[in-house]
Amino acid sequence: VSLAVRGGRSRVDSVIERVEALRRFLAAAQDHVPEPELAPARTVVDRAGQRLALSRDHTVVALAGTTGSGKSSLFNALSRRRLSKVGVRRPTTGIAHACVWGLESASTLLDWLGVPPNRRFLRDDPGAADDDPALRGLVLLDLPDLDSVERSHRLEVDRLLALVDLVVWVLDPQKYADRVVHEQYLAQFRGHRDITVVVLNQADLLTPVDAERCLADLRRLVDDDGLDGVPVLATSTVGAPGLARLQDLLERAVAARQAALRRLAGDVDAVVDDLAALVDRAPPADAVDRGAQRALADALAQAAGVPAVVAATRRAYVHRAGAAMGWPVLRWLRRLRPDPLRRLHLPSAGTRDNLPVPVSSLPGATPAQRASVGLAVRTVGERAGGGLPGPWPAATVSAARRRLDDLPDALDVAIARTDLGLGRTPFWWRIVGAVQWLCTLAAFAGLVWLAVRYALFALGLPELPGPRVGRLPLATLLLLGGLLAGLLLGALVRPLIGIGAGRARRRAQARLRASIGEVAGELVVEPVRTVLLAYGEARAALRSAR
Amino acid sequence: VELVRALTELREAIAATRYALPLPTADLAGDAASAIVAQLDDYLLPRLRRLDAPLLVVVGGSTGAGKSTLVNSLVRAPVSVTGVLRPTTRTPVLVCHPHDAPWFTESHLLPHLTRTTGVTVEGASLQVVSAPALRPGLAFLDAPDIDSVVDANRALAIQLLAAADLWLFVTTAARYADAVPWDLLQVARARGTTVALVLDRVPEGAAEQVAPHLAEMLAAYDLGGVPMFVLPETRLDGLGLLSEQLVAPLADWFGALASSAGARAGVVRQTVDGALRSLVPSIEGLAAAVDDQVAAVRALRSSAHAAYQSAQSTVEQGVRDGGLLRGEVLARWQELVGTGDAMRALQARVGRARDRIVAAITGRTVAGSQFQAAVEHGLITLVRSAAADAAEQAATAWRLHPAGAALLATERGRVDLAAPSPDLPQRVERLVRDWQRTVLDLVRTEAGNKRLIARASAYAVNATGLLVMISVFTATSFIPTGLEVAVAGGTTVAAQKVLEAIFGDQAVRELAERARSDLLHQVRTLLDTEEARFTAILDRAGVEAGTADRLRAAVDAVEQARRAAPLPDSPAVPLPPAPAGAGPTAPPASASAPPPSAPRPSAAPPSAAPAPAAARAPGQGGDGVAR
């Protein structure tokens, strides 16, 4: 008889790496998957960490079973001492007992198992007549029953069964087919076939023929529980079949020192199988849909007031060009009208990165615009998570939305920081402005000259001789020519200003779109991408935990 | 008769009740309801029709407790199969005197079980065996176990126990503290079933400890008055029976019961009365479960409604200041009135100026960019987003509710409730187009009228202007120049246009208000159909509010009938006392195992020392019986 060992040594050796992989899976998934779905895996990882940190030379074997099946008798018989109380009053054992074979007392292990100190016994008498050197390293636990009216016993059993390395299920001819044992316990251990032993105790009560039939029936039930291959033995503490085969089996298990790792391997198998559905589809190749991103940028641009800023930029260009190149005599009139960009409280050339940005006076988004931003953000999340299983689509949508409240301010800052390209006065504005001034000065000079001449004439003084160009006096020419040239120049640059304004508008449009795109990337797409990365990591981690 | 009719009505009411929503109470209530219906069908109704029918003792208990062996030994014949493989008995076996056989074979009690006489067939069947060794008036039913891996056994055993006049509960020294049978004993106590208890297979020397402990446990579970018999673990004779000597106390007790019609009636009376009494709390439990269902439906409905209500108010907020809609109305107005581009700009400017003035006075800001003709896009987005948010919100609220989560899970295959219905975009577009059409109609009916007023007012103004002009002409000696005429005509036309623009703006505002309420109405209808996706599921679940009241009324009727017509009072004959000598007696089997076929006389006669608990007086719990 031997344990139903599956897989080779490598499967056991890799347990530590697999637990580590499971830990990586948890780290990747924990922010995106509801905690209840991860709780079993977390328990396994924690427990594995604790168990591996404790003595691996000890093998914790639990005797579990129904009340009255003779767990305590078996415990006493294996330890060859009367350690656990045996009785007819049911339920007999209420608190787990432990017996340790070997020199070390394994007290930290027993502390971890939660066996009270007064229930711990030590078999450390080497050389004694009843010494079992082959059992060195065995920690045998006598568990309370799992089916009596004392519900607390069941809780204690459930707690300890989650911790021990090997379980010997002790059944008896009267109770071997009880529902509670098979449905609620044995069937739950189908992932732990290689650390499960079933014994039919009190076999001495049956005739050998009946015992054979009973054992065969139990074998069938155990197979139905999904535990095929698990050793099923008949034992008796007082009569015929005896304990030799069980003892032999325990000796080999203790000698192999593999039970703890096998148990953890089984635990990891179980949770990995449960978790597989969470990451069973390949992540999408194109992480975040381009079309959805473009729609998002459009919606954000509308909501942030980009069209208004672009229009204001164009008008501001015209306004400022007028101020720089208009007819100097009437230029001041421009001052009476507000600068369109300044009305929006936007700087012309963007704010430098290290300076704080004042809030702009752009009108807030309308409900319709807000709604379209909401839709676009949701679409980005849904498209990204569309092909993913389980809770992940919800995670991508909520990741896309996570910073929705920060969006308006981030957009405002982005717009305020964008260089709209009106910061520098173009060179040709200066030249034209200077020419305008020259013209005006010429006209003014002509005017003054004419005024002087008029004054001389009025006072009856002799006329000053002045240069003439052709038949016209130079003063008149200066005045009229200056005025005419100014007006002409103003008319000539008008189409140029229009062209420049158009260019400024397009430039502002492109730059604002780029800034908005950055904001969308940072606040919406990046969180979604983080979720997708976490998915990929979780998937890879779970595969290596397999 | 009254009682039977009331019970039949109650049965119909219970059977008609569904617990559709998967609430924590629903499964329990469903099980309880089918158990009650089964008990009514299997036991109460047939028993009330014939109270003098033979007494049915159901022998029930754990697997391997020796129920079949006990029945065989009591009737002194191997009528029920025994063995070491668990569970042994799978088909219930009813043993009765030949005289009583017709009553049991005619399917009064347990009508759903087909009767067989010899061979066991699979399925719900009941094997009826006549045993002349039994006295008439009393029948034993060997029930399957209550706790083995075979689930069908457990269900059948519970059904049979509900049909018992007297439940002979068999347990063993190894089993007496098991949780499962004690749960059933609790049920029996709650139902008022008469119970007797056999502690079987007691090993040597264990009786002194086990029997008192069992008695303590019985007392702790409020079953202190139950008669208890203790039988030792022993070897069986050639027929697989316990020795006559061992079962003598039990056989005598049943013999006394069978021979006394009064005692039998007392047992029946107590069990029936207890069962009727227990109906009140259990039906109240069912009614409470129905109430839970109704409350859950209401909660789910209101959370869905709240979500869509908030969607509606989002849309209302979106179109509140009217600019969005006025653009639409204005455009339609201008198209209908057929104004030129100059007029169009003038009218728009009038509206904008008015908004500015209002804004300047009230301090509210003007959302100038809303004043655009591209209303379709904005409206569609607004409604779609509101509907999507509402669907998600409602689904989230449902997910937090246990019943809601389960409903969502069952619906997942067909529709995704967390997303709006797939044809929503088309429906919203349709809605907006329909709305635009109504706006068009509205403008069409209103426009002519308003324009007339505008014209009339303009004429009035013009008339005044004319008068002024005439007086001017008088002053200039009636020399009208062509220029003056042209100026007069021009001002007239201009005044009319400006006034039309002003009056038109007012009309547009009024129409926009009406268009708004019309739009909101249509949106409401759309959101209602979206909400109906949620409420339809609740409606399909078919939870009726009146069911709980019907259950309560039916059980009240039963209770009244029970009070009005008490069961025929039996002569006050108590159950025969459990004999004192029923203690564990036989010496244990030796460890060496002789083949079971070797008849092993259970050697020792009943010892003089009785088991302490076995001497317990069987004070009967039922009122009137013990007196």
Looking at residue A91, its pLDDT comes to 85
C-beta atoms of A174 and B201 within 8 A: yes
What band does B485 get if pLDDT is binned at 50, 70 and 90?
low
Contact A89 B210 (CB under 8 A): yes
Task: Give per-residue pLDDT as tens, B365-382.
Answer: 444 444 444 667 778 888
Q: What is the mean pLDDT of residues A433-452?
A: 90
Nearest CB neighbour to A371, from listed B87, B385, B596: B385
pLDDT(A41) > 50: yes
Nearest CB neighbour to B210, from listed A88, A182, A204:
A88
pLDDT per position as a tens digit, A243-280: 889 999 999 988 888 888 889 988 998 899 888 888 88
Nearest to A14 by CA among A235, A265, A370: A265
In this predicted structure, which of A174-188, A521-535, B123-137 has the lowest mean pLDDT?
B123-137
For the ranges A68-82, A186-200, B452-466, which has the lowest average pLDDT?
B452-466
Preferred mutation among B69, B90, B148 to probe A, highest tally of A CBs within 10 A: B148
Coil vs helix vs strand at A19: helix
Does B388 contact A179 at a Cβ distance shorter than 8 Å?
A: no
Residue A157 has pLDDT above 90, yes or no: yes
Residues of B in contact with A148 (CB under 8 A): 177-179
The band of B310, judged by pLDDT with boundaries at 50, 70 and 90, is very high
| pLDDT > 90: percent of chain B | 7
Whose CA is closest to B304, among B550, B528, B147, B512?
Answer: B528
C-alpha distance from A111 to closest chain B C-alpha (Å): 30
Between residues B297 and B619, the one the model is more confident about: B297
A348 in Cβ contact with A316 (< 8 Å): yes
With 90 as the cut, is the pLDDT of residue B306 above it? yes
Strand order in the sheet with B93-96: B114-116, B125-130, B93-96, B138-142, B55-61, B166-172, B194-202, B228-232
The mean predicted confidence, pLDDT, of chain A is 87
Span of A409-423, B66-80, B315-329, B387-401 with lowest mean pLDDT: B315-329
Average confidence (pLDDT) over A518-529:
91
Contact state of B593 with A363 under an 8 Å Cβ cutoff: no
CB B60 within 8 A of CB B168: yes
pLDDT at A346: 82
Nearest chain B residue to A66 by CA distance is: B178
Per-residue pLDDT tens digits for A85-137: 888 888 888 889 999 988 676 888 999 999 998 888 888 766 666 677 888 88
Q: Would you call A177 and B177 a contact, using CB atoms and an 8 Å cutoff?
A: no
Q: Residue A201: what pLDDT?
A: 92
Distance CA A504, CA A349 (A): 12
Q: What tens digit of pLDDT does each residue of B81-123 get?
A: 887 777 877 788 889 888 888 888 887 788 888 887 765 555 5
DSSP-based three-state secondary structure for A196: strand
DSSP A102: S
Separation of alpha carbons B275 and B54, rounded Å: 18
- Which residue of chain A has the CA closest to B319? A367
Quick one: tokens of B123? Answer: 């399925």
The whole-number average pLDDT for the span B313-337 is: 70
| Residue B425 touches partner A, C-beta closer than 8 Å | no
User: Measured between beta carbons, which residues in chain A are less than 8 angstroms from residue B390?
Assistant: none
CB of B84 within 8 Å of a chain A CB? The answer is: yes
Interval A160-181 mean pLDDT: 91
Structure confidence at residue B472 (pLDDT): 60
CA dihedral A485, A490, A492, A496 (to 10 degrees): 150
| Confidence grade of residue A538 (pLDDT, cut at 50, 70, 90) | very high
Tens of pLDDT, residues A381-406:
888 888 888 788 888 888 998 888 88
Note which residues in 368-397 of chain B have CB less than 8 A from chain A: 368-370, 377-379, 381-382, 384-386, 388-389
CB atoms within 10 A of CB B86: 23
Compute the Cα dihedral for A373, A378, A383, A384 and give only its sign: positive
pLDDT tens column, A491-507:
888 899 999 999 999 99
Contacts 24+ apart (CB under 8 A), A242-247: A243/A74, A243/A77, A243/A78, A245/A1, A246/A74, A246/A78, A246/A168, A246/A197, A246/A199, A247/A78, A247/A132, A247/A135
More confident position, A215 or B615:
A215
Residues in B closer than 8 angstroms to A368, CB to CB, are: 318, 324, 377-379, 381-382
- Give me the half-sphere count of Cα atoms (radius 13 Å) on the Cβ side of residue A12: 17
pLDDT (0 to 100) of residue A511:
92
Q: Output the pLDDT for position B371.
A: 40
Q: Which of A145, A169, A175 to mutate to test the interface with B (most CBs of B within 10 A)?
A: A175
Q: How far is B322 from chain A (nearest CA, A)?
A: 12
Tens digit of pLDDT for each residue in A287-322? Answer: 677 888 888 999 999 888 898 899 999 989 998 888
What pLDDT is stored for residue B123 in this prediction? 59
Determine the pLDDT at residue A500. 92
Q: How confident is the model at residue B190 (pLDDT cuts 50, 70, 90)?
A: confident
List of E strands, A82-204: 97-101, 120-123, 138-142, 166-171, 196-200
Instruction: Tell me the residues of chain A between 63 and 102 that have a Cβ less than 8 Å away from chain B.
Output: 66-69, 87-91
Mean pLDDT confidence for B310-320 = 85
- B365, B367, B381: residue with CB nearest A372: B381
Confidence class for position A241, pLDDT limits 50, 70, 90: confident
% residues pLDDT > 90 (chain A): 32
Specify which of B371-385, B436-450, B532-546 reaches the highest per-range mean pLDDT. B532-546
For residue B593, the model assigns a pLDDT of 37
Query: Is the pLDDT score of B124 beyond 80?
Result: no
What's residue B595's pLDDT?
39
Q: Of B49, B54, B52, nearest to B97 (Cα)?
A: B54
**DSSP per residue, B139-207:** EEEEPPPSSBS-HHHHHHHHHHHHT-SEEEEEEETTTTTBHHHHHHHHHHHHHT-EEEEEEEEEPTTTH
Partner A, chain B 56-75, Cβ-Cβ below 8 Å = 62-65
Dist. CA B189–CA B624, nearest whole Å: 17
Q: Does the structure show a pLDDT above 50 at B266?
A: yes
Q: How far apart are CA B502 and CA B201, in angstroms?
A: 107
The pLDDT assigned to A416 comes to 85
Angstrom CA distances, B620 to A160, A392, B216, B271, stand at 44, 64, 17, 11
Residues in chain A: 546
- Element at A62 (helix H, strand E): strand A59-65
| Alpha carbon A367 to chain centroid, angstroms | 31
Q: Does A389 touch chain B (CB under 8 A)?
A: no
pLDDT digits (tens, 9 = 90+) for B272-287: 888 888 888 888 888 9
Q: At which residue do the structure tokens 């004419």 appear?
A: A450
Q: Which of B63, B86, B314 to mutate to test the interface with A (most CBs of A within 10 A)?
A: B86
Chain A residues inside the 8 Å CB shell of B179: 147-149, 151, 180
Is the Cα torsion angle B280, B281, B282, B283 positive or negative in sign? positive
Question: Do B109 and B92 touch, CB atoms closer than 8 A?
Answer: no
Q: What is the mean pLDDT of chain B?
A: 77
Residues in A closer than 8 angstroms to B154, CB to CB, are 179
